[in-house]
Structure 1
Amino acid sequence: MQLESPRFQLVLLARSITDDAYNDLYSKGYRYDSFTSMWQLIALLHHHHPHLVHLHFYGIGHPYTFIARCFCSHVVLTMHNSPPQGYQITPWRRIKQKLLGLPLARLCAISPFIQQWLSQFMAQEKIALINNGINLSRFKYEKIPPMTAKLRCFYVGSLSAEKGLHYLLALFLDPRLSRIAQLDIFGDGELKEQVKLAANQTQSINFHGRSTQIEQDLKQAHIVLMPSCWQEAFGYVAVEAMAVGRPVVAEPIGGLADLFVDQQQGWYVHFEQSDQVQNLLRLLYSQSDTLEAISVAARKRVEQEYDIQRQITQTHKMYTSLLDS
């Protein structure tokens, strides 16, 4: 809805969208088509004869990329998914991925981490780095609340093993830390009962379940903890927290490792080293001025790198360069 050029006809094909998104599109004169099968996609492409097709949430080599190439010379694919755990780029896989990527004019990487992964088997000129963005009008900056009895640490996300939640539960069950810090957990998932059990064992852990207004909840935090054990492609929660002005303490892995500069807009720690994490949290508890300075810097980082307007501008520029070539 925010692309500027009137020269292009844009058609949105999606499995589903929300009612609000549909109403927004409809109010601005856009049409929305959904498809549930390969044959419906073929019929839509045959009807519209597009000059460019941009696919999301499909992998390299998905049949839809080959179908789209039959009807369109410019096929773009944005890589949102993390690389498979333990996936090794062997010479055979490098050749295979290059062949599967032949229908694609561009591969969009949503983070430098994904860009680096794609560059192992795809020509550099085919890869476009366009960082994911967020709507800054939704996540408005607010000063960190005053430090009262405890440092309020938030975890927001899936309650699953790969998110490293077990590190946080062990950390905040330790009475040495629970005297100066508390953990608020927002989310749902397979470890829900384990989280509830830990919350019942100590007053330093509070479980809130899934939130529908996380942008408001985040404003009650002092910091946000992200102890992921797997290579996330990006790290939306971290960027949303930074946009609100809540510094992030994260494991330097995958896309999380690229989001900010350590000790300037947040902190990187290894959560399996509990003493390292405890020492940092004690330091932040005693130095509220440091928290406030990092809070401001974190917001500026998001404004510079992760504003959705920047993502839109870069996407539009990529479309234009392809269509004008």
Structure 2
Amino acid sequence: MRVAIFRPFFPPWEMEPLKKISNDFIIDFYITSPINGGVYKAFIKENESNIITLPYDKFTKTIMNNWSIKKVLVFRTILLDTSIKPILFKIILKNKYDVVETIENYTYSSFQSIIAKKFSKVHTIIMNWENIVFPPWRFFLRYIINKQCDAFRVPSLTAKWKLIKEGVKNEKIHYIPACVDTKRFNPHLKKDLKKKLGIEDKIVILYIGRLVPQKGVEYLIKAFSKILQENSQIVLLIVGEGPLKNTLINLANKLKIKNNIIFLKAVPYNRIHEIHAISDITVLPSIPTKNWMEQFGYVLIEAMACGKPIVASRSGAIPEIVIDNETGFLVEPGNINELAEKISLLISDSKLREKMGYKGRARVEKKFSYEVIIPKIKELYYSING
């Protein structure tokens, strides 16, 4: 069976399990957007024999390079797509794929796969992360795609409910969560990095992710400031990049807690387990907005696989991963006092950290491991191809 998977970029944690099914299928991975930076670039280079990056045509490149045009709503429809011209359509027909998987039910890439279906025997799957009925200005495109697509793969129940609200039949939606390698991410990893960072005697609170407003890192720093008043033997480790980085550094300086906060650049995926190894508590304080809420929270299953307790906000799909009072604590988004209270509770009780970490590991093994999820992806591909 020949399979083509199209993405604007391939996060390593998404591609790794897909690579593992390559023994069962002939899979071509296509990148449909040049918006790839940092750790993604490094990963693409490591896997360039598996990944085909599609070029932009001149007209589309002109639009992408013109910031004032790109900001106009109608032109942002191409941001997840390789070109205004039907490149994907031609690729699908030329290579006679059996199954094609694209991303989101409002992209031009998905629309091209639906059109290709009319001229070939290809079966279409859409990976749908989006869990808000948005954007309204693509309603007509969504309507056609929802009607004609053979199957939808969703990583969360919030994404499934979104599709149902848009009129997609329940039987077309396949709930298959993201997954993690529980052999690489485990509770017995070496903590060498702690010595390197000079924090061997500290309790480490960890945040990994983008430094953008909707991730709520500002609230985490303010909560951490409160916690420090009671316990100075703690450190906040913030790993990632984003437009808010300087603002967050300035906030730490203003609150006079910079000596207890370490900012690290985004870490390549093949080393991210080393970061999880040195943490004691992982925090994801996401803030839902009108147009976004947490679509999964992959860092959570990495941390839980490593036996770490979680403190996270009730945003989007997070409550589907973290069981409140069992594998961690859920707090109201933006509630600094509650965030500080739950983190403090875990800091003061090592047995509670161990207990929640153990239950988190067990939950990942049962619901989010390669062993559980990869067979479900295979089953979907086989079933859709008859």
Equivalenced residues, count: 312
Secondary structure at the counterpart of residue 297 of structure 1: helix
Q: CA RMSD in A?
A: 3.1
TM-score by length of 2: 0.71
Give the deviation of 1:130 after TM superposition.
Answer: 0.8
Q: Is the 1:53–1:72 Cα contact (8 Å) retained in structure 2?
A: no
Give the deviation of 1:167 after TM superposition.
Answer: 0.6
Which residue among 157, 161, 164 is the counterpart of 1:112?
A: 157
Give the deviation of 1:317 after TM superposition.
Answer: 0.7
Task: Give me the identity figure in percent.
Answer: 22
**Code of the aligned partner of 1:78:** M
Cα gap change, 1:13 to 1:183, in 2 (>3 Å): closer
Match of 2:70 in 1: none
Equivalent residue runs for 1:286-301 within 5 Å:
286-301=348-363
Match of 1:13 in 2: 30
Query: Following the alignment from structure 1 to structure 2, what is the Cα–Cα distance between the partners of residues 144 and 10?
Result: 35
Secondary structure at the counterpart of residue 152 of structure 1: strand
**Are 1:138 and 2:188 matched, yes or no?**
no
Give the deviation of 1:173 after TM superposition.
Answer: 2.5
Cα gap change, 1:13 to 1:193, in 2 (>3 Å): closer
**Are 1:248 and 2:301 matched, yes or no?**
no
Query: Following the alignment from structure 1 to structure 2, what is the Cα–Cα distance between the partners of residues 45 and 272?
Result: 45
Give the deviation of 1:88 after TM superposition.
Answer: 9.0
Which residue among 278, 296, 306 is the counterpart of 1:234?
A: 296
Match of 2:113 in 1: 65
Query: Following the alignment from structure 2 to structure 1, what is the Cα–Cα distance between the partners of residues 362 and 264?
Result: 29
Which has the bigger relative contact order, CA under 8 A and spacing at least 6?
1
Secondary structure at the counterpart of residue 173 of structure 1: helix
Deviation string 1:256-301 (CA, Å, 9 cap, x unpaired) is 1210211111211125333323332332222111111111111111
**Code of the aligned partner of 2:188:** E
Equivalent residue runs for 1:21-170 within 5 Å:
21-23=47-49, 25=50, 33-36=52-55, 37=83, 38-56=85-103, 59=106, 62-70=110-118, 71-83=120-132, 87=134, 97-121=142-166, 122-142=168-188, 150-170=202-222
Moved more, 182-191 or 220-229: 182-191
Match of 1:207 in 2: 263
Q: Is the 2:224–2:340 Cα contact (8 Å) retained in structure 1?
A: no
Deviation string 1:94-148 (CA, Å, 9 cap, x unpaired) is x874433122000111111211221212111111101011223332322798998
Query: Following the alignment from structure 1 to structure 2, what is the Cα–Cα distance between the partners of residues 177 and 155?
Result: 21
Q: Is the 1:172–1:205 Cα contact (8 Å) retained in structure 2?
A: no
**Are 1:2 and 2:20 matched, yes or no?**
yes
Deviation string 1:174-231 (CA, Å, 9 cap, x unpaired) is 3535535431111111111122223442133222232233210121111011110021
Secondary structure at the counterpart of residue 128 of structure 1: strand
Give the deviation of 1:69 after TM superposition.
Answer: 1.8
Gaps of 5+ in 2: 1-18, 34-42, 56-82
Match of 2:74 in 1: none
Gaps of 5+ in 1: 26-31
Q: Is the 1:180–1:282 Cα contact (8 Å) retained in structure 2?
A: no
Cα gap change, 1:317 to 1:135, in 2 (>3 Å): same
